[in-house]
A and B are shown apart, each in its own frame.
Chain A
Amino acid sequence: NAGVTQTPKFRVLKTGQSMTLLCAQDMNHEYMYWYRQDPGMGLRLIHYSVGEGTTAKGEVPDGYNVSRLKKQNFLLGLESAAPSQTSVYFCASSYLAQETQYFGPGTRLLVL
């Protein structure tokens, strides 16, 4: 039981490039979340999903897109990366809304 995993662990992008971050969970959780963490800002919710095939916007969704084609996977896409998207990205999952969220190890993204 690996819990929540994230791929890649670290990535450097140039402004305007695109990339996809992958989150996978093997706990059969319905809910999945993408957060970003910046110094002094705490964790902020980007997008979330309440089940396979569904997605919804969080606090800071601009510049990101997500997809949940399979229950166990939640993808976060950056279509045209900007330096302001330099951050550490964490994925989390929970069995139901309001239940305990379990986090992945994070992806460090640097946009030059």
Chain B
Amino acid sequence: DAKTTQPTSMDCAEGRAANLPCNHSTISGNEYVYWYRQIHSQGPQYIIHGLKNNETNEMASLIITEDRKSSTLILPHATLRDTAVYYCIVRVSNSGGSNYKLTFGKGTLLTVNP
């Protein structure tokens, strides 16, 4: 799986959009970008994933650049409960794959301030 680079920490004001960047310049054509987050003392929580098109769900939006070398996770209206470590993970996603583990890097600690 391709390596990712994320800022160590970011701050965001409550109610504002939080934009979390991720660089994955060595991504392959069949690798998806996944985002998870881990709120303190809880299990990792799946947020969203995408291949090359922008994706949106009830939690967030994922913007992937045209060359796929970077992406941005957007939390449109951050709340205090969104304070967590956010992980960007790149991995192959197809039913014939055999790489079972998820490789979590150090992630970005997002602190949402009142």
Binding site for B on A (CB under 8 A): 4, 31, 33, 35, 42-43, 45, 48, 50, 58-59, 90, 92, 96-106
Contacts and interface: CB of A to CB of B under 8 A. Distances in A.
A42 B104 contact: yes
A42 B95 CA distance: 25
Contacts of A42: 103-106
B110 to A, nearest CB: 17
A43 B44 CA distance: 10
A105 B43 contact: yes
Nearest to A33: B100
Most buried by B among A45, A98, A102, A104: A98
Most buried by A among B46, B93, B96, B100: B100
Contacts, number: 60
A28 B105 CA distance: 29
A97 B106 CA distance: 24
Most buried by A among B94, B101, B105: B101
Contacts of B45: 103
A98 B95 contact: yes
Chain B interface helix/strand/loop/mixed: loop
A100 B46 contact: yes
B43 A104 contact: yes
B100 A97 contact: yes
A47 to B, nearest CB: 10
Given A31-B100, A97-B96, A97-B100, 20 more contacts: A35-B101, A35-B102, A42-B103, A42-B106, A45-B101, A45-B102, A48-B100, A48-B101, A50-B100, A90-B43, A92-B43, A92-B44, A98-B92, A98-B94, A99-B93, A99-B95, A100-B49, A105-B43, A106-B41, A106-B42
29 contacts: A31-B100, A33-B101, A35-B101, A42-B104, A43-B44, A45-B100, A45-B101, A45-B102, A58-B101, A92-B44, A92-B102, A96-B95, A97-B95, A97-B98, A97-B100, A98-B92, A98-B95, A98-B96, A98-B97, A98-B99, A100-B34, A100-B49, A101-B46, A103-B43, A103-B45, A103-B46, A105-B43, A106-B42, A106-B43
